[in-house]
Amino acid sequence: MYQAPAPKPSDTADAVLTGLTAAETAYLREPPEQTPDDARALAELQALAGVLSRSLTQLEYERPLTELPAATLAHHAKAVRRKVLELTTGSGQLPGREARKKLFSWSQGEGQEAFAAVAALRKVLVARLKENDAARLAAQQPAQRPAPAPPVQRGNGEILAAELAKALRENAPQGTETVVRAILVAGGEVYRGRNDGSALLDLTYAVVSHRTDRLETWTVGNCAEVHALDWFIHAQGFSTEAEVVAAFLNPPVAFPDSWIVAMDARGRDVRSWVKRTPCENCQQWLKALGIKADTKGAAS
Ligand SMILES: [Zn+2]
C-alpha cells in the first residue's frame, strides 16, 4: 500500500510559518526589543502565543520541529502558552511590560525547561524563515515574478470535509482505549481536539457545562469536541462566556456557519478511524452555540 513519506522538518516548519499572521511573522523576523512599552510588550507576548498555537497544530500530528520528540515539545509549548495566556488574558491580565517581566522570571525558575524548548523552536522557525526569505529574493533576482493569483476562498463546510477525509486516512491508535478526535472549523480556521484528558480553560468548561444537562456517564469536559472548542477560545483570546456566545450567535456573527465533526478509533484487531455522532452531552452545547455537527453517515 502506498504510504506518504514522512514530512521533512523543514516542511513542518513551513507549515507553521505559512499559518502565521503578519504580526507573528514580524515577531520572528525582528529580535524582541529590550525596553518595549506596554502595548509593544503585550503584542510580543500575543505573537509568541500565536506562534506556539500554530506549532502545536503540527506537533499534534507527531511532526517534530526540533530535536525533541513532538510530544515533548508540545508539552513544553503548551506550558509556555498557558503561562502567556494566564498573564495576558482573563482575570490575571497584567500590563504588557509587567506580564513580560513575570514571564521572564517564570522562565528562569519553574518554566526553565519549557522555555528552553520553546527558545529552540523559535530558533528553528527563524532559521527557516530566513532561508525562505533568501530563496524568495533569489527567485526574484532577474525579473519580478508575476503576482500570485489570489487564494480561492473555501467555505467552512468544504474545509471540514477535506480535513475529515485526510484524518480518516491516517492510522488510528491501536489498543482498546477509547480514542476520539474532533475537528472544528470556524472562520476558515481548523481547531482539533482529542479526549486526552488535558486541562481545559475554565472559560471553556463554563461555556460547555452551562449549556449541557449531563446525559452521559462521563463529565462534559471529557470530549474531543470540547477540546476543539477550547483551542478556538484560546486562539481568540476570549475571556468571558458572553464573548464566546456572541462570536457564534450575535449578529453580525463573527463566526458564521461553523462546523464540527468527530471520529473515534474502531475495530477489533486493527482499529481505524470512523466518523461518529457527537455524544448527547456535546449535542446540547453545540446546538446552543449554533455549531453544526456533520453527522452524515456517522456511526452513533
Ligand atoms: Zn461529547
Tell me the per-residue pLDDT of 82-138, one tens digit each, with 9 for 90 and over. Answer: 999 999 998 889 999 999 889 888 988 999 899 889 988 988 888 888 888 888 888
**Of residues 120 and 156, more confidently modeled:** 156
- Distance (Å) from CA 104 to ligand 1 centroid: 38
- Distance (Å) from CA 68 to ligand 1 centroid: 32
- Distance (Å) from CA 153 to ligand 1 centroid: 30
- Distance (Å) from CA 180 to ligand 1 centroid: 9
Q: Which residues contact 282 (CB under 8 A, 6 or more apart)?
A: 212, 223, 225, 226, 262, 293
- Distance (Å) from CA 226 to ligand 1 centroid: 7
Residue type present at position 201: L
- Distance (Å) from CA 169 to ligand 1 centroid: 22
- Distance (Å) from CA 106 to ligand 1 centroid: 35
| Predicted model pTM | 0.52
- Distance (Å) from CA 9 to ligand 1 centroid: 34
Alpha-carbon gap, residue 118 to 80, rounded angstroms: 8
- Distance (Å) from CA 227 to ligand 1 centroid: 10
Domain ranges of the chain: 9-140, 156-293
Average pLDDT, the chain: 89
- Distance (Å) from CA 278 to ligand 1 centroid: 5
- Distance (Å) from CA 71 to ligand 1 centroid: 24
**Of residues 141 and 138, more confidently modeled:** 138
pLDDT the model gives residue 151: 66
Q: Give CB contacts under 8 A, 24+ apart, made by 206-214.
A: 206/241, 207/233, 207/241, 207/244, 207/245, 207/285, 207/289, 208/285, 210/241, 211/284, 211/285, 211/288, 211/289, 212/281, 212/282, 212/284, 212/285, 213/284, 214/281
- Distance (Å) from CA 259 to ligand 1 centroid: 15
Is 156-293 assigned to CATH 1.10.10? no
Mean predicted confidence (pLDDT) in 213-241: 93
Confidence of residue 144 (pLDDT cuts 50, 70, 90): low
What would the pLDDT profile of 157-211 be if each residue is shown by its tens digit?
999 999 999 999 998 999 989 999 999 999 999 999 999 888 999 999 999 999 9
Mean predicted confidence (pLDDT) in 260-288: 94
- Distance (Å) from CA 218 to ligand 1 centroid: 9
